[in-house]
Structure formats: C-alpha cells, structure tokens
Amino acid sequence: LPDKKPTVVFVLGGPGSGKGTQCANIVQHFGYTHLSAGDLLRAEQNSGSENGEMIKNMIKDGQIVPSEVTVKLLLWAMEESGNDKFLIDGFPRNEENRAAFESVTGIEPEFVLFFDCPEEEMEKRVLNRNQGRADDNIESIRKRFKVYTQSSLPVIEYYDSKGKVRKIDASKPVEEVFEAVKEFFTSLDD
C-alpha cells in the first residue's frame, strides 16, 4: 500500500502580512513543520549553488523563481523533516507554482490560510523589520506588491473557488491574529 499522503496547509498573504510570525505559533501548538519557500530560497542562494545568482537577482526584484527550483527545495525539506504535516509558507505564488507542485507531488492542500492585510500596514512592517533582507527596501517592496497582486492573488482566488480559503484579518495584533488562526487548526483536528 502507498504511504498516506502528507497533510499540507498553504500559508499565503502579501509581503509582511505575518506568515512567518504566525507559522512559528502554529508549529508550537499543532505539531506542523514550517517550510518557508522564501527561507529555503535564501538558504539555497547562500549555499553557493549554481542557481545562487539567479535567486539573488529575482528576490531583489520581487520576481518569482522558476517552480522547478522551488518545488525541488520544498520536496527535499519535506523528506528531511520526517514529519507528515506541513505549513508551506509563501508558496504557491503563481499558477505555474501551483500546477507544478500539484503534478509533482499529487498533493492538494487541506486548506489555504490567507492573511489579508492592507498594503500600508504591510509596507510599514517590512520597512521596520531590519533583519537585513535584500528585498526590504521601498523599491523592492513596490515590486513585491505588484507581483503579489498580479500573480499571487489569482492563486488565492483559484482556491477560494474550490472552497479552500480560510481568510484572516491580518492587520490586527499578533495575538489576536493567532486566536483566529487557532480556530481553523482546532476544527481540523475534530
């Protein structure tokens, strides 16, 4: 018999909407492994891989790295974890990402957690973060917002049409957002 397919929750929302922050909370309470596609790409960039320069330039420009690179990194990380429950944060970001993950893994997400946040608030958060990310400057942020609106929101709409989106008001304080997040994971366990 084939192994049971892993449980995957996609965590989506604009730059600075709080995906990484809330994933850390979910891990603590619900035993998922958190895989940030952006973190995996940044690690790959810094590992001296042949794709490093391409990844660096695309991130600075807010562009979406080709699916073959990102899906491979996600699959390796899933295998390495030994877990069977994953929060995939910041992926899929466009239709190509979505279709590639689905055809390579055969996995459909359990649901899609969508952090809905106004652009002014996201911009403020990203500019205040100060963790040295090459794309946390006003020029890169404007590009990230544009790509998010043009390419990523349509993926969320696609999942919404399948009844899979769990939308959260991400403009609230961290603790309040987590209260809302918790409900979706608690009801999943019922």
Cβ proximity to ligand UP5: between 1 and 145 the closer is 145
Contact present, 37 and 90 (Cβ < 8 Å): yes
CB of 104 to ligand UP5, least distance (A): 14
Closest to Mg ion by CB, 88 vs 165, is 88
Residues 77-116, interacting with ligand UP5 (CB under 6 A) = 90-91, 93, 97
Choice from 8, 9, 35, 41 touching ligand UP5 (CB under 6 A)? 41
* Binds ligand UP5 (CB under 6 A): choice among 9, 34, 35, 62: 62
CA–CA separation, 124 and 122 (whole Å) = 5
State the amino acid at position 23 in one-letter form.
C
Assess 126 for contact with ligand UP5 (CB under 6 A): yes
Give the C-alpha separation, 67 to 143, whole Å.
19
Contact string 13-42 vs Mg ion (x = CB under 5 A):
------xx----------------------
Contact (CB, 8 A) for 152 and 91: no
State yes or no: residue 45 binds ligand UP5 (CB under 6 A): no
Q: Round to whole Å and give the CA distance between 116 and 139.
A: 22
> Biggest alpha carbon distance in the chain?
52
Full 3-state SS string of 52-70: HHHHHHHHHCCCCCCHHHH
Task: Tell me if 178 sits within 8 A of 21, measured CB to CB.
Answer: no
Contact 165, 90 (CB under 8 A): no
Number of residues that bind ligand UP5 (CB under 6 A): 31
Nearest residue to ligand UP5, by Cβ distance, number only:
38
CB 33 to ligand UP5: min, Å: 16
* Contacting residues toward ligand UP5, per CB under 6 A: 13, 15-21, 36-38, 41, 58-59, 62-65, 70, 90-91, 93, 97, 125-126, 129, 135, 144, 173-174, 177
